[in-house]
């Protein structure tokens, strides 16, 4: 199983930047660049459900049916970022 971002569930090998960055500039192996930059979440203060809705909308805008977006994102609440919240 491919390693996925522990915030949005995107496969890390699909991240064009190769992962987010920590505050010291090092690459994060836990969160993608779309979710995490300079040691902070880009969308702070949202819930797992809000993240799932955002991802479904983003996938739909790229042409994916909403039910497929839901299927791909239904595991978001189980990812590390949301279990710790």
Q: Do the beta carbons of residue 62 and residue 12 sit within 8 Å?
A: no
39 SS3 class: coil
The C-alpha atoms of residue 45 and residue 68 are separated, in whole angstroms, by: 26
Percentage of residues of the chain with pLDDT beyond 90: 94
Q: Tell me if 34 is assigned to some domain.
A: yes
What average pLDDT does range 5-24 have in this prediction? 95
Q: Tell me if 2 is assigned to some domain.
A: no
Q: Tell me if 5 is assigned to some domain.
A: no
Q: Tell me if 3 is assigned to some domain.
A: no
Percentage of residues of the chain with pLDDT beyond 70: 95
pLDDT at 28: 95
Q: Number of folded domains in the chain?
A: 1
State which residues form the domain around 58. Answer: 12-83
The C-alpha atoms of residue 85 and residue 15 are separated, in whole angstroms, by: 24
Q: Do the beta carbons of residue 82 and residue 73 sit within 8 Å?
A: no
39-75 pLDDT, tens digit each? 999 999 999 999 999 999 999 999 999 999 999 999 9
Closest by CA to 8, choosing from 56, 40, 45, is 56
Q: Tell me if 23 is assigned to some domain.
A: yes
């Amino acid at each position: 199983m491919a390693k996925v971002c522990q915030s949005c569930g995107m496969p890390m090998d699909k991240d064009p930047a190769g992962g987010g960055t920590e505050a010291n500039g090092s690459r994060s192996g836990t969160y993608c660049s779309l979710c995490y930059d300079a040691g902070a979440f880009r969308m702070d203060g949202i819930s797992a459900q809000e993240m799932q809705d955002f991802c479904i909308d983003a996938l739909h805008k790229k042409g994916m049916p909403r039910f497929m977006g839901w299927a791909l994102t239904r595991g978001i609440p189980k990812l590390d970022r949301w279990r710790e919240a």
